[in-house]
């Protein structure tokens, strides 16, 4: 694998993904200069304290000026606003990408704002934890995790290769998808599980007579693992729901039908149907482990990742 190098990389947004990128870019020598921009003064100050970049600014347009690679790591609902802010500062030939969990909406927001002389290549690293902010990042976040690119028709192949090499050096496995297909796939493998987790934990919190006693006390069971997902950044997941609405609603409808079938099996004591379902889902878990996307540990591999490395 040939190494790629950029003179200047601008990171717009310095949360979990942005700060992890800053760390791995510095470790791997992927850029001579890292420029960091975020709209929060306190977050920017913390990024400076952590030494994540070489220069820091609240002005996104200033951050993008002269950058060879601009990575937008903001909630997907803010993508269009960021594109408008940086459009006039981008140098010809710059690569602009993002890390958003929805692609059709991000493309619709960003593409009309960006000049034709830059290479806009939407992307999505499938990596994360329930933590957020510049302290949450760590350089190994992307190792053996998929990063999906959804390049638009007519995108310069050399630019795609450079961005692919960048993510590979960060540790990612690369794939490309049509944006609409990406959004349907992510609706089932990521968005729906998070919504179910939010709903289950929300239901438990409504049971006020047990929330502060039995539910917390006995959370070493399945409930604990739902709370990990339900602790994810609320701004990010609000925007995901609003910007992948059609695919999420489709998957919620399918889930509701399957849940009704499960309810009937329990109600009528259909042990065979229950056993068949549980056997099939157990095989899915084994497939994920065999694919190297999880470890075979009794705590679901979460104990080691519970506290991000400093």
Residues 6+ apart with CB under 8 A from 199: none
Instruction: Say which DSSP state 89 is in.
Output: G
The Cα 155–Cα 114 span in angstroms is: 14
Would you tell me how many other CB atoms lie within 10 Å of the CB of residue 239? 21
Give helix 192-206 / helix 234-243 axis angle, nearest 10°. Answer: 120
Alpha-carbon distance values, 21 to 71, 147, 249 (Å): 9, 13, 32
pLDDT digits (tens, 9 = 90+) for 6-55: 999 999 999 999 999 999 999 999 999 999 999 999 999 999 999 999 99
77 pLDDT exceeds 80?
A: yes
State the average pLDDT over residues 254-277.
94
State the average pLDDT over residues 113-134.
92
Decide: 16 and 75 in contact? Cβ < 8 Å. Answer: no
Of 170, 114, 118, 174, residue with least CA distance to 150: 174
Q: Residue 58 — φ and ψ, nearest 5°?
A: -85, -10
* Predicted model pTM: 0.85
207 pLDDT exceeds 80?
A: no
3 pLDDT exceeds 90?
A: no
Q: What percent of the chain has pLDDT over 90?
A: 71
- pLDDT band of residue 299 (cuts 50, 70, 90) is low
237 pLDDT exceeds 70?
A: yes
Superfamily of domain 6-177: NAD(P)-binding Rossmann-like Domain (3.40.50.720)
Question: What pLDDT does residue 15 have?
Answer: 92
pLDDT digits (tens, 9 = 90+) for 156-200: 999 999 999 999 999 999 999 999 999 999 999 889 999 999 898
State the average pLDDT over residues 107-120.
97
- The SS3 call for residue 195 is helix
291 pLDDT exceeds 90?
A: no
- pLDDT band of residue 1 (cuts 50, 70, 90) is low
Q: Where are the domains of the chain?
A: 6-177, 181-305
Beta bridge partners of 8: 33
Give the containing element (helix H, strand E) for 7: strand 6-12
The Cα 109–Cα 83 span in angstroms is: 8
Q: Which residues of 123-162 are buried (b: 16+ CB within 10 A; e: fewer)?
A: bbbbbbbbbbbbbbbbbbbbeebbbbbbbeeebeeebbeb
- pLDDT band of residue 114 (cuts 50, 70, 90) is very high
Which of these ranges, 9-13, 208-212, 223-227, has the smallest mean pLDDT? 208-212
The Cα 239–Cα 226 span in angstroms is: 20
The CATH number that domain 181-305 falls under is 1.10.3660.10
The Cα 122–Cα 105 span in angstroms is: 11
Look at 168 and 282; give whichever has higher pLDDT.
168
Q: What percent of the chain has pLDDT over 70?
A: 91
Which of these ranges, 56-70, 103-117, 136-150, 201-215, has the smallest mean pLDDT? 201-215
Decide: 96 and 68 in contact? Cβ < 8 Å. Answer: no
Give the pairing type, strands 69-72 and 6-12: parallel
């Amino acid at each position: 694998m040939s190494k790629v190098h950029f003179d200047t990389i601008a990171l717009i947004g310095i949360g979990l993904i942005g700060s992890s990128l800053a760390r791995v870019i510095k470790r791997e020598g992927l850029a001579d200069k890292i420029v960091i921009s975020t709209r929060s003064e306190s977050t920017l100050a913390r990024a400076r304290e952590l030494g994540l970049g070489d220069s820091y600014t609240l002005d996104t347009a200033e951050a993008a000026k002269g950058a060879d690679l601009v990575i937008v790591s903001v909630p997907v609902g803010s993508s269009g606003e960021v594109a408008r802010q940086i459009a006039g500062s981008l140098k010809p030939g710059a690569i602009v990408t993002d890390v958003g969990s929805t692609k059709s909406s991000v493309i619709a927001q960003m593409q009309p704002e960006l000049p034709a002389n830059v290479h806009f290549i939407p992307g999505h690293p499938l990596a994360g934890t329930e933590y957020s902010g510049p302290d949450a990042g760590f350089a190994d976040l992307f190792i053996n995790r998929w990063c999906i690119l959804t390049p638009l028709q007519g995108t310069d192949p050399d630019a795609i290769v450079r961005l692919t090499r960048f993510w590979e050096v960060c540790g990612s496995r690369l794939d490309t998808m049509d944006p609409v297909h990406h959004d349907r796939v992510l609706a089932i493998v990521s968005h729906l599980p998070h919504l179910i987790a939010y709903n289950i934990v929300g239901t438990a919190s409504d049971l006020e007579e047990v929330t502060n006693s039995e539910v917390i006390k006995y959370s070493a069971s399945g409930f604990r693992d739902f709370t990990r997902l339900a602790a994810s950044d609320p701004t990010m997941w609000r925007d995901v729901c609003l910007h992948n609405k059609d695919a999420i609603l489709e998957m919620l409808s399918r889930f509701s039908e399957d849940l009704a079938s499960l309810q009937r099996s329990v109600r009528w004591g259909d042990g065979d149907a229950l056993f068949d379902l549980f056997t099939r889902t157990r095989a899915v878990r084994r497939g994920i482990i065999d694919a190297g996307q999880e470890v075979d540990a009794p705590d679901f591999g979460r104990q080691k990742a519970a506290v991000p490395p400093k």
